[in-house]
Homo-oligomer: A and B are copies of this chain.
């Protein structure tokens, strides 16, 4: 691996090395970031008093940092604010794969496990900026339309960040792969079914002010739009790349 390659990949350590079906492993920033930036919800593993917890939450990426937020009174947020190790995982389920043996039944997926230590964002200007980015990363330019946080909301919200110390991606993206002798020998109908998370038809707030136009940034939020593709687009609109 050249120096240039090394600088655009995460270091491979005993923590992040993909051990099972290692040919599915991805360590380059580009692949890992694409999987992260196409997701809104992650699952975060953390430990309190020896008990592991796995909590779903919304997140986003800026450079080599991941951010999420929560109530300042939340057990998860208070624990993570102390700088504990966390593992933030994103999974896109892409297909069901039905094979001729149970062993080769599978799913197609794209996942990332990112490892680091959470920290609380103390700087108030940065925290405000992150709050705006969190909204705009999903809904283009929306932070300019909405009311800014009041003092109580600002205090009640804790913003957390994490440098991605290391990470790995894992991808399965192929069709049925059976044992050679089973293709002819096992008369089990086999197929792949794609799975996609899609937007439905919008439902406007019943108390919408009369005549308020749909913001330009919502043009791509159409019924049937794959949510991962949409999020990758709105991410690029906000952060480029």
Binding site for B on A (CB under 8 A): 15, 19-21, 40-41, 43-47, 50-56, 58, 70-71, 73-75, 85-89, 91, 93, 95-96, 98-103, 105, 107, 109, 111, 113, 115, 131-132, 134-135, 138-139, 142-143, 145-149, 153, 156-157, 175-176, 178, 182-209, 212-215, 218, 221, 227
Contacts and interface: CB of A to CB of B under 8 A. Distances in A.
State the copy count for this chain: 2
B194 A209 contact: no
Contacts of A175: 203, 205-206
Chain A at the B interface: SS class? mixed
Q: Which among A19, A146, A149, A212 has the highest number of chain B CB atoms within 10 Å?
A: A146
A146 B99 contact: yes
A87 B41 contact: no
B53 A147 contact: no
Contacts of A143: 102
A42 to B, nearest CB: 8
A58 B107 contact: yes
Contact of A54 (B54, B107, B203): B54
Q: Which among A40, A96, A99, A135 has the highest number of chain B CB atoms within 10 Å?
A: A96
A198 B198 contact: yes
Contact of A190 (B88, B135, B187, B205): B205
